[in-house]
Amino acid sequence: MRTEHPHPFQHCPSCGAGDLQWNSSNRFTCPSCGFVFFHNTAAACGAILLYQDRVLLLERANEPAKGMLDFPGGFVDPGESAEQALIREIREEIRLEAQELRYLCSAPNRYHYRGVTYNTCDLVFTGTLTEEPGSLQETEIAGFVLLSRDQVRQQLDRIAFPSLRQAMELFLRGPVSDSTESGSR
Ligand SMILES: [Zn+2]
């Protein structure tokens, strides 16, 4: 197991000086040249998607959390809204268009990737599918499962990240009838 660096780099990206001062977990200033950098919280999105009242979860093909269950979703690209990012990620990962996407909640996460820790704010939505996935983005996803709410409850520890577990717990406490109905209430 590789040790995580507390900060993503040790030398100033502007002048190369090696005596960086991290003022907090996400900000440094270079005493040599005055360069300031914010390693800001990144926005990420994910969806709890229902197909015939079962929850779609994806099996991660890569680290971090390889083999664990994840929501369709990913990082919000520059210039995108969370909704646009989510629609794009769902298309990329499961080749489908989700319906009735609605904001559920957000939760903080720490995403470790190749020695860098990214603080994220995960924006979680709910939605529905009219068919189950026929093909997957195999570079990122090893497979999928469709689980009943009870099955999800029993397997919460298979969900990859605390932020997503938290969102799923909130979803599981919510009304059941909301998932398959469409139109006005
Ligand atoms: Zn510098």
Is residue 2 in a domain? Answer: no
Domain contains 184: no
Q: How many CB atoms lie within 10 A of CB 133?
A: 21
Confidence of residue 183 (pLDDT cuts 50, 70, 90): very low
Q: For the chain, how many residues are written? A: 185
Residue-range definition of the domain harbouring residue 20: 9-40
Ligand 1 mean position to 5 CA, how many Å? 20
19 falls within a domain: yes
From the CA of 19, how far away is ligand 1's center (Å)? 9
What is the band of 177 on the pLDDT scale with cuts at 50, 70, 90? low
Q: What is the pLDDT of residues 15-68, one digit of tens each?
A: 999 877 777 778 888 889 999 988 899 999 999 999 999 999 999 999 999 999
Give distance in angstroms: CA of 20 to centre of ligand 1: 8
Report the C-alpha gap between 141 and 62 in whole angstroms: 8
Same domain, 14 and 101: no
Q: Distance, CA 49 to ligand 1 centroid (Å)? A: 46
Q: What is the pLDDT of residue 24?
A: 75
Taking only the tens place, the pLDDT of each residue in 92-147 is 999 999 999 999 999 999 988 888 888 999 999 999 999 999 999 999 999 999 99
Whether residues 29 and 100 fall in one domain? no
Torsional sign, CA 50, 52, 53, 57? negative
Total domain count, the chain? 2
